[in-house]
Amino acid sequence: MSTVILSAAGAALVLDVSAQGLPRVRHFGAELGSAQDQDLLPVLAAPAPPLLPAQGDTWYGRPGLSGVREGEHWPVRWTLERLDTDATQGAGGTVTVTAADERAGLRLVSELVMDAGGLVSLRHTLTNTAASPYRLGGLVCALPVPGRAGELLDFTGRWALEKVPQRRAFGQGVWSRENRRGRTGHDGTGLLVAGTQGFGFGSGEVWAVHAGWSGNHVHYAERMAEGAALLGAGELLDPGEVVLGEGESYTTPWAYFSWSGAGLDDMSARLHAHLRARPLPARPVTLNNWEATYFDHGLDRLLELAERAAAAGIERFVLDDGWFRHRRHDRAGLGDWYVDEGVWPGGLHPLADRVRKLGMQFGLWFEPEMVNPDSDLAREHPDWLLARPERMPPPHRNQQVLDLARPEVYAYLLERLDTLVGEYALDYIKWDHNRDLAEPVHDGAPGVHAQTLATYRLLDELRRRHPGLEIESCSSGGARIDYGILARTDRVWTSDSNDALDRQAIQRWTGLLVPPERMGAHVGAPRDHITGRSLPLAFRAATALFGHMGVEWDLTSASEAELEELAGWIALHKRLRPLLHAGRVVRADHPDPSALLHGVVLPDRAVFAYVQLTSRVTVGGEPLRLPGLDPQAVYEVRVAGPEPDGARLPDWTGGPVRLSGSVLGELGLPAPSLRPASALLVELLRV
């Protein structure tokens, strides 16, 4: 056997195992049909990096492994010891590679998995087999991309405006996105994509990588003068953060690699399928009280809010920040996870009981990893902070960080969370994380690695004790969105901004990585609390409809007409929810920059949103060419939901019309004329 081929869902990865060193990755891209070893021999002479690039393999770019050994240092040259695979053509499989360098005193185990959707997951485990310590500098996962990948797409952002795309040529050298915030970051790219020139949502060949890690991390693209190029990702370690004693091991986070021959949507679908392999219960429409009441936790006001929420069809009520001791503002109390007896003399039971009698689930906000200096916890345990005790890190948001890797801190938080989840039979936790980790020190060493693993352990143990508990990952909005945290949580809070105009772009690009049912998307107040922009309810609701829908609006201030309109949108979401939360997400490469066209498609039905963002320059709009439909099928097409105010609608909106998928995809529907900040929903049923 000279090659191992993993293939599934039109994708393939070819490993050359003809030499004694690590396997070389000869191909990652389109499936190669029934190719056998002898068919591939003529192309195996082309240059290709090994599974873990190093200078001993004539790779002079960024090394896959860096580190030093005290006393005697040997550059690593791996000898292949074992290769195990259960690969089945067309069904994916697993490859496990074991290699060692006795002189260097290291052993490596690399795991490659291609799932049924064609997504490749890769991780490495490094073990120190020598007596002297090995100081690990970095260990990353990388796969090659071909020379025709001439353009890069990645993402940046800030608080309340996450996932802003940026594109550039993929030239020679390294393009590296490094994050040292101790969390995924508002500016964390999430995905690094390489593609053929001009690739779009439905066109071009693309390769993407995602680091499934919630701490410091790196994504990079590199092209060498010799022509080889690759995408890589992994944990970003500080010097001295991981020191391996004899017999000790370090395992990288999983890195996820997705290929598509048909643009970003197909690449995204492979990622979505991976997350959807862990099924979720139906996603209840959720009300969060934060922007409705902030720290005003008067019981009568909250009960009135709950009554109005239930009447509108909301299915879950989440009590946000402010319920625990000393928490009348954001400058005190964080870490004191006991119900504030002064505000809640009967505990939270009066609210929780009423919420459940109204037919809703009950959830609660926590920020377990943080502490206010003005808190009982910080005063009693100043040594529990993730810091040098002699010098505190700069404060942010009136907060410091608790060192979860200390057993006593972990034990305290687990006891408090476990007790409260049990006492109130919580259905849901909103788990927040509101600051970057500055100067984190654990046990005298850099602390992000240990902190991240401890957070994972805490989440895992809490879920083990409460199997039905759902957890949302919030981090000042969208600053901790990655597959490491999503392996342990059920949704992410996409952004602290509920401004529906900004949310259209935030959800569009976050949705490349995260499917709709895991993206929190709320109907905010008529005048947004962050941007100050006023937007109509129909547009706010149509935007929230395409995620895990919720409401973050003081419904006690809403008119009866607004409540009736909101109830209608919630009912529409519930009717479409089986489609929205299971279908394939598609985004049209719509030529009009003032508008967006996106949808969700199942074999028997689909729903699309045509969104007018700003005023249109042209008099007539571009036709709505609907992607993702079966070209041979016939669909009944109708407007779903209310018609937007002030719209001029074409004839087809007057009643159901029947058209083939090929006509809808190639010719499209005549576009309506909509006011800025409005949307028209189109529903399709296969006939």
Q: Annotated active-site positions, please?
A: 432, 496
Q: How many whole angstroms separate alpha carbon 72 and alpha carbon 473?
A: 44
User: 471 near 480, Cβ under 8 Å?
Assistant: no
Element (H, E) at 441: strand 441-442
Tokens 């719509």 correspond to: 590
Q: Which pair of tokens denotes residue 608?
A: 């699309």
Q: How many whole angstroms separate alpha carbon 460 and alpha carbon 476?
A: 22
Q: How many whole angstroms separate alpha carbon 47 and alpha carbon 535?
A: 55
Does the annotation flag 397 for ligand binding? yes
**What would the DSSP string read from start to end of 115-138?**
-TTS-EEEEEEEEE-SSS-EEEEE
Does the annotation flag 141 for ligand binding? no
Does the annotation flag 604 for ligand binding? no
Report the 10 Å Cβ neighbour count for 45. 9
Does the annotation flag 430 for ligand binding? yes
Q: Cα angle at 419 between 416 and 422, to 5 degrees?
A: 145
Amino acid present at 344:
W
Dihedral, 82, 83, 86, 89 alpha carbons, nearest 10: -160
Name residue 11's beta-bridge partners: 8, 30
Name residue 491's beta-bridge partners: 472
Contacts of 491 (CB under 8 A, 6+ apart): 283, 470, 472, 473, 517, 518, 519, 520, 548
Report the 10 Å Cβ neighbour count for 102. 11
Element (H, E) at 678: strand 678-686
Does the annotation flag 320 for ligand binding? yes
Dihedral, 325, 329, 332, 338 alpha carbons, nearest 10: 20
Q: How far is CA 630 from CA 330, 634, 635, 686, in A?
A: 52, 8, 9, 9
Amino acid present at 26:
R
Does the annotation flag 433 for ligand binding? yes
User: 16 near 44, Cβ under 8 Å?
Assistant: yes
Contacts of 448 (CB under 8 A, 6+ apart): 182, 215, 216, 238, 241, 437, 440
Residue in 517, 1, 399 with CA at minimum distance from that of residue 507: 517
Binding residues for substrate: 159, 320-321, 397, 430-434, 474, 496
Binding residues: 159, 320-321, 397, 430-434, 474, 496
